[in-house]
Amino acid sequence: MCVIDPSQEMTVRTSGIIKPPRKFAGVVIATTGLPARGKSQIAINLSRRLNWSGESAKVMRVSDYRRKRLELYASHELFQPDHAANSGLRALARRDAIHDCAAWLASGNTIAILDATLVTHEQRVEVFDYFYGQLGYRVLFIECVCDDPAVLEQNYEEIVKNSTDYAGMDPAAAIEDIRLKVAHYVQAYEPMHEKTYPKIKIDTATMEITAQKVTGHVETHALGILGSIALKPHTLYFSRHGESEYNVLGRIGGDAVLSARGERYAQALASRINSMHIPDLRVLTSRLRRTIATARGVEAPQEHVAALNELDAGVCEGLSYEEMQEQYPQEFAWRDQDKLRYRYPWGESYIDIMQRVESVIAELQQANNILVVSHQAVLRCILGFFMDKTPEELPYMDVPLHTIIRITSQGYNYKLEFIKLPIECVNTTRTKPKNCSPNRTADDALLTVPAHYDIPDPWRNPGNGPTLVQQH
């Protein structure tokens, strides 16, 4: 049996012989297992993390293709293994997804994730022979198992809440329908005993992981990522530090203390968070004074993490935008041209921050009830990860001062809430100016700089002009 109609094979290489896989060519990651074992969540989490580290990964979810072919979900009967028309429909949907995986890799992307059940040996052989044997890509199976009735019950409830199939259906009826759907799959199910295929098996109740024949940098990276995925619903809290004396002066970077208003925000944040009585709350801050001071009143264990420090502006640390334009007009223009990739001399870019915060993201993915107090650029990257932003969107995300940001998992997506606290503060967001040429005038370069006080830097030039310390 051939999964793919050869006439539809597009530009991918085909030949009768089995080729050795190209080690740096594309990888297909295919999930296998009964419904409600966490396969989709694992697929989407893998995709997010792999994309974050510079790969180009995409999930092809067979159930999405099934919904494309049959818009209205009726009931579990669709999944009866002995119903020829329905089996055929599901095979077509699987074929669509496999086809798009091949197209994704053929156009130069690195990882295609096939989110499928592949409950029979025959289906897995087809996938392996097609991608590995015919197309020369590497294949990794991820087998999801779970026998814990309590975890399964929770998974059923999450699916009813979040799946399109059950939108508008009575929850009790929906859960009964899932049970019957799973029962149909159990009839056909052949657990994956194949010893010759690269495979990671994950028990999504205990999170015990077994790896067999896993080699290749993408596959071993995936193995590491799976260790840091937790599938339980969770809530995370974020806040920028309170307004700092550098914010007031319109200066970037540095290690300034909080302004008087920033101190008031720290108190308001602590009261608000403490009054929420969040169970087992933990706090992560950067190692800079303004985040540590902001979190000080929150009643929870606190850890100061260097990976949460603000983007390092290198030679521009502590400068105002006006000084940057005066001293480094070329650099200032380059940054406006490509804020995502631009690196300050001896400093960092947003891309660098994305890498630096990966360890924090790994920790947050498996944690619940953490408050992260950090900085604008760093929080843009972390929130962008959970909200599925593209790298290009990160440098322009809105992360206002004096606001608690809460994200709550909903299936594999997140709900985002802003809780603005009523403490005034400056605006620190400079939008992209129209003219980004290195030859632009200073006026053009400074057009979008937000209003701020204009005092010589008290930290760099103590005694030179009025110091802000006297303002307290």
Residue matched to tokens 């539809």: 8
Cβ closer to a copy of itself: 27 or 160?
A: 27
Choose the catalytic residue: 126, 158, 184, 241: 241
Active site residue 176: no
Residue 336 touches a copy of itself, criterion: CB under 8 A = no
Q: How far is the CB of 374 from a copy of itself (least distance, A)?
A: 13
Residue 317 touches a copy of itself, criterion: CB under 8 A = no
CA distance 366 to 58: 22
Active site residue 241: yes
Do the beta carbons of residue 10 and residue 102 sit within 8 Å? yes
Helices marked H in 107-208: 121-128, 149-162, 171-188
Judge whether 240 is annotated as a binding position. Answer: yes
3-state secondary structure of 413: strand
**Binding footprint of a copy of itself, residue count (CB under 8 A):** 47
Q: How far is the CB of 300 from a copy of itself (least distance, A)?
A: 11
Residue 210 touches a copy of itself, criterion: CB under 8 A = yes
Residue type, 162: N
Among 183, 346, 420, 432, binds a copy of itself (CB under 8 A): 346
Query: Residue 238 — φ and ψ, nearest 5°?
Result: -135, 150
Across 238-255, b (16+ Cβ under 10 Å) vs e yields: bbbbbbbbbbbbbbbbbb
Do the beta carbons of residue 397 and residue 389 sit within 8 Å? yes
Q: Which stretch binds a copy of itself (CB under 8 A): 16-24, 32-40, 72-80, 372-380?
A: 16-24
Residue type, 411: G
Judge whether 67 is annotated as a binding position. Answer: no
Site track for a copy of itself across 240-279, x = CB under 8 A: ----------------------------------------
Among 8, 215, 461, 464, binds a copy of itself (CB under 8 A): 215
Token code pair at residue 472: 């307290």
For residue 309, give every residue at least 6 positions away whose Cβ sits within 8 Å of its Cβ, in sequence order, or none.
286, 287, 288, 375, 378
CA distance 348 to 369: 30
Cβ closer to a copy of itself: 101 or 218?
A: 218
Task: From residue 250, give the alpha-carbon distance in Å to each of 74, 88, 255.
Answer: 59, 64, 14
Among 77, 122, 170, 208, binds a copy of itself (CB under 8 A): 208
Which residue ranges are tagged as binding site?
A: 240-247, 290
Give the footprint of a copy of itself on this chain (CB under 8 A).
20, 22-25, 206-228, 282, 284, 301, 303, 305, 307, 331, 334, 341, 343, 345-346, 355, 358-360, 362-363, 366
The residues assigned a catalytic role are 241, 310
Which residue ranges are tagged as binding site for substrate?
A: 240-247, 290
